[in-house]
Amino acid sequence: MLLAAEGGFHAPGLEEFYPPAVLFEGTPFELNRIMLIRILVAVVLVAVFMFLMRNPKLVPSRAQSVGEMILEFIRKGIAHDMLGKKDGDRFFPLIAVIFLTVFAMNITGIIPFLNISPNANIGMPLFMAVVSYVVMIGAGIQAQGGWQYVKSQLFPSGVPGAMYILVTPIEFISTFIARPLSLALRLTFNMLVGHLLLVLCFAATQFFFFEAGGALAVFGGLTLVGGFAFTLFEILVAVLQAYVFALLTAAYIQLSVAQDH
């Protein structure tokens, strides 16, 4: 900001993620640019899948094939893989929605004019992490009963009695605290840092090309190529984070449902 004030290089900061309010400022329904992107993504995601699956046929059309391929990947590759066929189908809606929501909200980070991922605001990842946390615990209690569930999570069998003094707090922290936090933070910071990297690259390019000028324009070329490379990388990250979030949700449910781990 100091540099910017001097009319030079504009370094991106956290203020990127807290743009001014557009509507309802100061209320719980305050809308800023990122919240609008979030709503847009939700609407587009639903619309796209309603379109792809609008009239499914036994012999699928091209659009239907694409929709089915994506859903089938989540169903087979994540849900069935982690949870088996029966539980996999039971939790498939949640896992599919998490996968698609995370991906759709990630990918806006590289879509021109949107240029930011709503997952960089921790609300969205945190909300999904809480949903997956609640489902994880609910599934465990449903499968084993409340006490048995807590026992299976905190007092793993096959551990000598005295060791529970050590094991139980570790299991408690890793299962009931680290799991949701790691889900939320991993996604948030991936998106946050990804966005900062892109902004950094393109802001530097802008600076080198139009403000530094002269020989420094060469660096502008480098940062432009870097920005392009990071854009491609962000596509990968968008898919990967969606996959990781959905996979971990499934894995946590599986660990809850399993009698012992």
Partner 1 sequence: MTPITVLAAETPNPLLPATYDIVWSAVCFVIIFFAFWKLVLPKFREILDERAQAIEGGIEKAEKVQAEADKALAEYQKQLADGRAEAARLRAEAQEEGAQIVADMKQRANEEAERIISQAKAQIEAERQSAMLELRGEVGGLATDLASRIVGESLRDEHRAAGVVDRFIADLEAQTPAPAIKES
Q: Which is nearer to partner 1, 96 or 257 (CB)?
A: 96
3-class secondary-structure state, position 23: strand
Least distance in angstroms from the C-beta of 15 to partner 1 = 5
Q: Which is nearer to partner 1, 131 or 154 (CB)?
A: 131
Give 131 or 203: the residue with its C-beta nearer to partner 1: 131
Q: How far is CA 188 from CA 18, 142, 178, in A?
A: 14, 30, 15
Contacts to partner 1 by CB under 8 A = 1, 4-5, 13-15, 17-18, 24, 27-32, 35, 38-39, 41-43, 45-46, 49-50, 53, 56-58, 60, 64, 67-68, 71, 92-94, 96-97, 100-101, 120-124, 126-128, 131, 185, 188, 192
**Cβ atoms of residues 109 and 236 within 8 Å:** no
For the chain, helix, strand, coil in percent to 5 are 80, 0, 20
For the bound state, the minimum distance from the C-beta of residue 144 to partner 1, rounded and expressed in Å, comes to 25
Distance CA 64, CA 55 (A): 8
To the nearest whole angstrom, how small is the minimum distance from the Cβ of residue 36 to partner 1?
9
The number of CA neighbours under 13 Å toward the Cβ of 246 is 30
The minimum distance between CB 80 and partner 1, in angstroms, equals 12
**Closer by beta carbon to partner 1, 22 or else 258:** 22
Using left for φ > 0, alpha for ψ between -120 and 50, and beta otherwise, residue 170 falls in alpha
Shortest separation between residue 101's beta carbon and partner 1, angstroms = 5
Q: Which helix (H) or strand (E) holds 32?
A: strand 31-32
In the complex with partner 1, which residue's Cβ is closer, 50 or 235?
50
Burial of 166 (0-12, 13-18, 19+ CB in 10 A): exposed
User: Considering beta carbons, is residue 58 or 165 the nearer one to partner 1?
Assistant: 58
Count other C-beta atoms under 10 Å from residue 260's C-beta.
13
Minimum distance of partner 1 from residue 249's CB (angstroms) = 13
